[in-house]
Amino acid sequence: MKFVDEAVIEAHAGAGGNGSAAFRREKYVPRGGPSGGDGGRGGSIHAIADRNINTLIDYRYARIHRAKGGENGMGADKYGRGADDVVLRVPVGTVVTDADTGEAIADLATDGARATLARGGKGGLGNIHFKSSTNRAPRQFTRGEPGESRRIRFELKVLADVGLLGMPNAGKSTLIRAVSAARPKVADYPFTTLAPSLGVVRTDERRSFVVADIPGLIEGAAEGAGLGHRFLRHLARTRLLLHVVDLAPADPDADPVREAKAIVAELKKYDPALAKKPRWLVPNKLDLVPEDERETRVAAFVKAMRHKGPVFPIAAISGEGCRALTFAVQSWLDAHPAEPAAPEPAAETPEVLRPAPVVSRRRRAEPAA
């Protein structure tokens, strides 16, 4: 299935039904009075996070979503029926914003999280609400309110504990294949990965973490160059970044140090908070470096990068060093648990319009003198 992580839709809620101006007409009831009921509430449009959905592709083609309007009120004190709400299911991790104003509406980061995209209009009042001692046959009623109409932007940020970043052909897809059951495409040319891949790394029966592989970055990615700029947002939720570097590039003119520094610069340009995340260096393709040169080359690379954090040299194609890396990542994640998600607000119950209480105006009989 094609991966789509961004979509813009139109949400049109239903209008409320009109109130009714009717009167009770019944045999032997000469003064029946007003009996017009209220209109029903229009249908609202909601978004709900569903863990069984992985992409926003449905909303790339179905862009307009409308809810029905409420029924009009009727005589004999009958209220109009409220319209059913429309529920749009989106992947967990979807950020909902107003496409016109940029206002954040909701961050659906947990399964079952719910947000109202467009609220249905309230139903109008029937003439039973306007009767009084001086207005016993009211003909007033109100019309239903129109429903909200908004342009909504869905933006998916995948949920992962660890994110892989690096230049194209650095070996990120090979690494995720080596440590998890994920099987992204691997080939001997750059930009093999065209969409994020998620893999579950299980370190024992009760402990595991999720790693995300995004398309390779190139210099200028923050300004839109290459493919990776579209997917940098998927690193925003990760707690740890693994910077995979090709220590033995096929191009003799390629400089691993310069390319690694370019990636760090792109992170700072895109989002300074993303650049401040814990980042480990993972020099890859040790199998292409002679054994007597590996230690020296890794040390020279780390010194040139002025990197102070952990360094894990690996050969992803053979799995060398991958086991030590995954156990170190698991230990770090256990020591740095994710912040608990904010509690979701209670769902609003639609307001129910009830008829005004009827106050008796009958005069009490005066006692005889």
CATH classification at residue 209? 3.40.50.300
pLDDT at 188: 46
Residues 170 and 127 in one domain: no
Residues 192 and 127 in one domain: no
Token duo for residue 198? 């998620």
Inside any domain, residue 315? yes
User: Band of the pLDDT at 4, cuts 50, 70, 90?
Assistant: low
Going by C-beta distance under 8 Å and a sequence separation of 6 or more, which residues neighbour residue 162?
Answer: 201, 209, 210, 211, 212, 238, 239, 240, 241, 242, 329, 333
Residue entry with tokens 């690193």: 235
- In the chain, the amino acid numbered 146 is P
b/e 144-169 (16+ beta carbons within 10 angstroms → b): bbbbbebebbbbbbbbbbbbbbbbbb
Inside any domain, residue 1? yes
> Do residues 231 and 214 make contact, with C-beta atoms less than 8 angstroms apart?
yes
> Do residues 271 and 231 make contact, with C-beta atoms less than 8 angstroms apart?
no
Q: Higher model confidence: residue 278 or residue 254?
A: 278
User: Burial level of 296, CB count in 10 A (0-12/13-18/19+)?
Assistant: exposed
pLDDT at 152: 95
Inside any domain, residue 348? no
> Do residues 120 and 83 make contact, with C-beta atoms less than 8 angstroms apart?
yes
Q: Choose from 30-34, 81-85, 167-171, 303-307 the range with maximum mean pLDDT.
A: 81-85
pLDDT tens-digit series, residues 130-160 = 998 888 889 999 999 999 999 999 988 888 8
Residues 112 and 206 in one domain: no
Write the DSSP assignment of 162-209 as a string of letters: EEEE-STTSSHHHHHHHHSS------SSS----S-EEEEEESSSS-EE
Neighbours of 303 (CB within 10 A): 10
Share of the chain above pLDDT 70, in %: 82
Q: What is the rounded CA–CA span in Å between residue 331 and residue 205?
A: 15
Inside any domain, residue 367? no
Q: What is the rounded CA–CA span in Å between residue 172 and residue 246?
A: 10
Residues 68 and 54 in one domain: yes
Residues 13 and 127 in one domain: yes
Inside any domain, residue 349? no
Residues 35 and 76 in one domain: yes
Q: What is the rounded CA–CA span in Å between residue 326 and residue 179?
A: 7
What's the mean pLDDT in 193-216? 78
Residues 183 and 286 in one domain: yes
pLDDT at 368 over 80: no
pTM (2 d.p.): 0.70
Helix (H) or strand (E) holding 47, with range, is strand 45-50
Inside any domain, residue 360? no
Residues 145 and 223 in one domain: no
Instruction: For Cα atoms 35, 120, 129, give the angle at the middle one, nearest 5 degrees.
Output: 20
Residues 88 and 46 in one domain: yes
In the chain, the number of structural domains is 2
Residues 87 and 60 in one domain: yes
Residues 184 and 147 in one domain: no
Inside any domain, residue 361? no
Range of the domain at 83: 1-134+141-156
Residues 209 and 147 in one domain: no
pLDDT at 361 over 50: no
User: Band of the pLDDT at 174, cuts 50, 70, 90?
Assistant: confident
pLDDT at 219 over 90: no
Inside any domain, residue 368? no
Q: What is the rounded CA–CA span in Å between residue 77 and residue 197?
A: 58
